[in-house]
Amino acid sequence: MPFYSPIIKCLSMLIRPLSIVTGYLDSLSDSLKQIKPSARLTLKQKAGLGFMIMGMLITQTFNWALFERRGLKKATPGQLHWIFYRAKISWKNLLLASVGNILEHYNITKGTLTFDDTGNKRSKKTTRIPHTHKVKDKATGGYFNGQEIVFMVLVTDTATFPVGFRFYMPDPNLTQWRAKNKILKQQGVARKDRPSQPEPNHKRYPTMQVLALDMCREFVSTFPEFTVVGVLADALYGNKNFMDKAAEITKGQVVSQLRSNQIVASKNSKATLQDYFTRQCGVEKLLLIRGGKSQKVTVLAARLHVKAHGKRRFVIALKYENEEQYRYLVASDLSWRYEDIAKLYTLRWLVEVFIQDWKTHCGWNKLAKQQGNEGSERGLILSLLCDHLLLLHPEQSALLKNKQPGMPIGCQIEHLRAEALVDTIHDVVNSDDSIYSLGELKDALADCLPVRESKKHMAGRDLGRQEPTDSLAYRVAA
């Protein structure tokens, strides 16, 4: 490795106000002005937001002090803190205005809304961070204290990007009742002797399904001319209320999943989904899934009356190659072909890809400890704007508009760092006071360059007693 590689790497970690960021914020300000004339961004607000967005992308954290050091002290933590909390920015419209820019830029007129939730770990004591509660850890099967977020991601034939989010907080009264009821049930206490379930406070603690429907309404009302092809969600959303209301709001196909023990009826006979479909032999087909790949699946389909929904649904039993158990898809619109429903549902996986990329690259998930509801929501909005900014980058735009696979986020960030490197060198060379600029650059490099302990040199380490022992001199004679 060349000796200058660490220096180049550190130079590329500096925060620079690149033209792509200023152009993005200019278009964002124009979109905000169309929504509300007084909501346009001022020059100071653009500078502050641009610095924070670039800081999150370059450092992949959300840390005021780190932003100051990597930005060569172009902005102080106090200035950034003031813009974040005190500046009169229309935060509620910021994300929707950015979504509108992307739809207009790529001329997107239809797509599919997908939903999923994810947990963000926090420390055990979080008195100043809102929405924290006990969250199930899908990786380990245990629990952790953290924030839980429901995302709405738009999947189109051009691009996939986030269009909404909500923080989820379970009703603490219901949580306490479930825990106590579980213990009493394990102790063998009869149901009539256990405390009754308290009335849920959906107004203060809305469920994930209610949050998802609220995001659907907001998106449809903001973009009335946009055609929602479908709404995709996992089994948590596969109930009558969500599917009916989502279909009513979006006028699109709603696809979710059912449990294998749910009761269905056909020709006056009732059975569980598992029993109903095991009576028949599945048909093997090649299903075109995400990425244009074909995969062998075994599929069965029927329009059945689902007891829990109180109406007929299109139910599809799907089993991928090398799987033993069927998964059961349920669709609201009976006029679709089952092949099209199965293909549509494969797009739900893309929301998980987005969440993984967002957690890894967009800064908010690491050291994002801004206090209060405003701090959490605004920080999350900034991290999603990072995703939108990368989608509107000229290199990414050229690929997607020409129907070519776009670059992943990690690759794009490396390109931004290269741009920051060139921009930094250009500023130093063309500076009026090059000596001062070089001094600032030296200080920034000192902060960026790693400091590691050598295992070769033994300074400061105990080497033991390396000399003869008088009491053991007799051993020499022996």
Per-residue pLDDT of the chain (478 residues; tens, 9 = 90+): 443 444 444 444 566 677 888 899 999 999 898 888 888 899 899 988 988 888 888 888 888 888 887 776 778 888 888 989 988 999 989 999 999 999 999 999 999 999 999 887 777 777 777 787 788 777 777 887 888 899 999 999 999 999 999 999 988 888 888 889 889 889 888 888 888 888 888 888 999 999 999 999 999 999 999 999 999 999 999 999 999 999 999 999 999 999 999 999 988 789 999 999 988 888 888 887 765 678 888 899 999 999 999 999 999 999 888 888 899 999 999 999 998 999 899 899 899 989 888 888 877 776 556 777 888 899 899 999 999 999 998 888 999 999 888 888 888 888 777 777 777 777 667 777 667 666 766 666 666 555 666 666 667 677 777 788 887 777 776 5
73 and 110 both lie in a single domain:
no
410 and 433 both lie in a single domain:
yes
Output b/e per residue, 397-430; b: 16+ Cβ within 10 A.
Answer: beebeeeeebbebeebbeebbebbbebbeebeee
82 and 115 both lie in a single domain:
no
Q: How far apart are the first and last CA of the chain?
A: 55
Whose CA is closest to 250, among 276, 226, 281? 226
111 and 139 both lie in a single domain:
yes
CB atoms within 10 A of CB 368: 22
Domain that holds residue 103: 92-172+202-358
The C-alpha atoms of residue 474 and residue 478 are separated, in whole angstroms, by: 7
Beta strand residue intervals within 122-266, DSSP E: 132-136, 143-155, 160-168, 227-232, 253-258, 263-266
327 and 425 both lie in a single domain:
no
**pTM, 2 dp:** 0.85
473 domain residue, yes or no: no
158 and 291 both lie in a single domain:
yes
Q: Which DSSP letter does residue 35 get?
A: H
The C-alpha atoms of residue 48 and residue 51 are separated, in whole angstroms, by: 5
70 and 139 both lie in a single domain:
no
49 and 164 both lie in a single domain:
no
233 domain residue, yes or no: yes
